[in-house]
Amino acid sequence: MTELGWGRHYVAVEPTHFRVEYVINPFMDPAVQPDRALAWRQWHDMVGTLRDLGATVDVLPQRSDAPDMVYAMNLGLGVVRESGERHVVMSHMRYAERRMETRSAQPWFAEQGSTTSTVGRDGVGAHLEAGDAFAWGDGLVVGYGPRTEELALKHLATDLGVRVRGVRITHPGMYHLDLAFCPLDDRRAMVCPSALDDASAEALLAIVPEPLVLTEEEALTTFCANSVVVGRTVVMPACPDRVRAQLEEWGFEVVVVDVSEFHKGGGSIRCLTNPVDVTIGRDLPAVAGGEVLLPPA
Ligand code: ARG
pLDDT in tens, 199-225: 999 999 999 999 999 999 999 999 999
Ligand 1 atom with the shortest distance to the CA of 147? 12
Mutate to test the pocket of ligand 1, among 33, 74, 127 (most ligand atoms within 8 A of CB): 74
Number of Cβ within a 10 Å radius of residue 241: 7
50: amino acid identity, one letter: L
Counting from 1 in the atom list of ligand 1, the atom nearest the Cα of 74 is 10
34 touches ligand 1 (CB under 6 Å): no
Ligand 1 centre to CA of 255 (Å) is: 22
Among residues 130, 142, 138, 208, which one has the least CA distance to residue 169? 142
In the chain, the N- to C-terminal Cα span, in Å, equals 33
Closest CA to 72 of 280, 222, 219, 267: 267
Residue 296 has pLDDT above 90, yes or no: no
User: How close is the Cα of 14 to the center of ligand 1, in Å?
Assistant: 15
Does residue 214 line the site of ligand 1, with CB under 6 A?
Answer: no
* pLDDT tens digits, one per residue of 218-264: 999 999 999 999 999 999 999 999 999 999 999 999 999 999 999 99
Check pocket membership of 67 for ligand 1, CB cut-off 6 A.
Answer: no
CA of 288 to the centre of ligand 1 (A): 32
Give yes or no: 271 in active site. yes
Q: 92, 176, 192, 263: which one is catalytic?
A: 176
Q: How do residues 29-85 score in pLDDT, each as one tens digit?
A: 999 999 999 999 999 999 999 999 999 999 999 999 999 999 999 999 999 999 999
266 CB under 6 A from ligand 1?
yes
Ligand 1 neighbour 139 (Cβ under 6 A): no
* 132 in contact with ligand 1, CB cutoff 6 A: no
Evaluate if residue 104 carries a pLDDT over 80. yes
Q: Does the structure show a pLDDT above 80 at 297?
A: no
Please tell me the predicted confidence (pLDDT) of residue 61.
Answer: 97
- Look at residue 47 in the predicted model and tell me its pLDDT: 99
Kindly report, residue by residue over 259-284, the tens digit of the pLDDT. Answer: 999 999 999 999 999 999 999 999 99
Mean pLDDT over 13-24 rounds to: 98
Ligand 1: which of 21, 177, 271 to mutate, most ligand atoms within 8 Å of CB?
271
Q: What amino acid is encoded at 243 in this protein?
A: V
Q: How far apart are CA 168 and CA 176, in angstroms?
A: 10
CA distance linking residue 262 with residue 36, whole number of Å? 10
**Which of 176, 226, 274 to mutate for ligand 1's pocket (most ligand atoms within 8 Å of CB)?**
176
Considering the chain, what is the average pLDDT of its residues?
97
Quickly state the pLDDT bin for 1 (edges 50, 70, 90): confident
Tell me what the mean pLDDT of segment 142-158 comes to.
98
Ligand 1 contact via 271 beta carbon (within 6 Å): yes
**Cβ-contact 75, 110 below 8 angstroms:** no
The pLDDT assigned to 23 comes to 98
Residues of the chain above pLDDT 70, percent: 100
> For 68-83, what is each residue's pLDDT tens digit?
999 999 999 999 999 9
Other CB atoms within 10 Å distance of the CB of residue 4: 23
- CA separation, residue 43 to residues 34, 73, 101, 136, 162 (Å): 12, 14, 19, 27, 33
CA of 216 to the centre of ligand 1 (A): 18
Ligand 1 site, residue 181, Cβ cutoff 6 A: no
